[in-house]
Amino acid sequence: MRVFFVNPPFKAEYGKFSRENRSPAITRSGALYYPLWLIYAAAVCEKDGFEISFLDAPAKLFDEKKSLDFIRANGADTKLFVLDTSTPSIYSDINFANILKNFFPDAKIMLVGTHPSALPEETLCISESVDAVARHEFDYIVRDFARAVRDGEDWGNVNGITYREEGDIRSTKDMPFIEELDEIPFAAEFIKKYLTPEDYFFAPAAFPEIQIFSGRGCMARCNFCVYPQTMHGHKYRLRSPENVVAEFEYIAQNFPDVKEVVFEDDTFTTKKERVVAICDLLIEKGLHKKLRWLCNARVNLDYETMRKMKQAGCHLIIPGIESCNQQILNNIRKGITVAQTEEYVRNAKKAGLMVHACYMVGNNGETKETMQETLKLALKLNTDTAQFYPLLPFPGTEAYEWAKKNGYIKGGYADYVKEDGTINSLLNLPGLSREEMVEFCDYARRKYYLRARYILYRLRVGLKDPEDLKRSVKAFKSIRRFLFKR
């Protein structure tokens, strides 16, 4: 039986919509994340013996017509469609499900992703074309649902789904989180077979790059972060160091043009001993000389581990700094201090690691003054790159419940992005409008990147590191219209 996995089209006329970005949008830097969760589920189904087709419409800039043409040419015998979704695109995603149902009336349609996971009943009520949604981590849920469709079995025996039956909406018990992550196929193997790395771009990484997960879940309790709260939970479940490094070996052997591996784990550096073990294996096998890598790393990362990571080929770390106001950090349960952030950046520079800092405005306690406070410290820290985003409180998160309870959300799901698909804000806080937050982020970006000191620094780095210059130029081409827009 054929299962067709689809990352649906959305606003293709404006650019590549990054659906599995933590804040789904057409990014200003031109970044496009691999649809990794969809990839892993497809790889699990293929391993289980199903025939697989795969379409990442945003990567190919396919609109609805081109997407449908591709699906009809590559999956006429499909019995199950699995569609990735996001909050900003949910109505468009379901509209595409309607189109598929019209052309494939006998096929079943399942939705996956953070939005249907958080709001399964509401999502099913939007359209009867959708037969079921998967809740939370869905690799094995999709596999088991595909088995039930193939074998004509009762869907009520499939854990982790909310489905439609005889006019009613029913839910089965949750699927347990996957503990043996080494059993999941390598994302890189699936990418080699079905995707093109040059279609994807991540501004902090050398181009082209491949993204993987070495673990799932996040031990931190940040109230805004969508994946731990809707998909993977707060227990950090790990692939073994040997398994992770084996995927590095596969990438080095099978992707001669790929320059970098991106660890997409929310907190790759949480378990220091494991990080060191991975680094030692990369060095032992000489992979640190073939592939460089980057990762997300909280600001509690120590200097000695940074040094080891640098020796093993890591060139950049990404902290979620969010705010430079301690009270706001406490309000969102970030679990860090401003002093830690300052020490972290100093240590990273000392260890020779670049830093891509992530800042956010609009959290509980934000004012015009605290936004300026954040920008002031961001300029002082002077990390290699930085991003400034308004808070997007997604369904299923504590931040969403806080904003909804207080009446701060103004708009619907489609308003999470602007007409051109770029990130928007829904929040109107006391004394701070959503327009002011979006304008501040644009201003902060210009202030940060258009400094003479910064431009000269980037040129110096680029002259020493051609790959860095290449990715900087690529990102600048995408972001320049936003930098110079007043």
Does some domain include residue 277? yes
Does some domain include residue 166? yes
Same domain, 104 and 188: no
Give the number of C-alpha atoms closer than 13 A to the C-alpha of residue 169, restricted to the C-beta side.
15
SS3 at position 321: strand
* Whole-number Å distance between alpha carbons of 166 and 126: 16
- Please give the mean pLDDT across all residues of the chain: 95
Torsion sign (Cα): 67, 72, 78, 79: positive
Same domain, 164 and 186: no
SS3 at position 45: helix
Question: Is residue 124's pLDDT more than 80?
Answer: yes
Same domain, 220 and 153: no
What's the pLDDT score for residue 475? 63
Structure token digits, residue 262 = 């991106």
Same domain, 389 and 479: no
Residues belonging to the chain:
486
Same domain, 110 and 200: no
Q: How many domains does the chain have?
A: 3
Does some domain include residue 424? no
Tens digit of pLDDT for each residue in 197-226? Answer: 999 999 999 999 999 999 999 999 999 999
Structure token digits, residue 387 = 């991003």
Same domain, 252 and 278: yes
Does some domain include residue 260? yes
Same domain, 227 and 351: yes
Does some domain include residue 266? yes
CATH number at residue 189: 3.20.20.70
Intra-chain end-to-end CA distance of the chain, in Å: 54
Tens digit of pLDDT for each residue in 152-204? Answer: 999 999 999 999 988 899 999 999 999 999 999 999 999 999 999 999 999 99
**Predicted confidence band at 458 (pLDDT cuts at 50, 70, 90)?**
confident
Same domain, 365 and 475: no
Question: Is residue 479's pLDDT more than 90?
Answer: no
Same domain, 94 and 191: no
Residue 114 burial (10 A CB sphere; 0-12, 13-18, 19+)? buried
Question: Is residue 481's pLDDT more than 60?
Answer: no
Tens digit of pLDDT for each residue in 445-457? Answer: 999 999 988 888 8
Dmax (CA) for the chain in angstroms is: 66
What's the pLDDT score for residue 478? 59
CATH number at residue 82: 3.40.50.280
Same domain, 114 and 214: no
297: CB partners within 8 A, 6+ apart: 267, 268, 269, 317, 318, 319
Does some domain include residue 413? no
Same domain, 104 and 16: yes
Does some domain include residue 422? no
Does some domain include residue 431? no
**Predicted confidence band at 464 (pLDDT cuts at 50, 70, 90)?**
confident
Same domain, 223 and 319: yes
Domain termination residue (choose one: 355, 375, 395)? 395
Tens digit of pLDDT for each residue in 375-384? Answer: 999 999 999 9
What's the pLDDT score for residue 303? 98
187-to-161, 213, 326, 413 alpha-carbon distances in Å: 24, 8, 38, 30
State the residue range of the domain holding 150: 2-135+138-171
Structure token digits, residue 369 = 């003054």
* Residue 237: closest CA among 145, 137, 321: 137
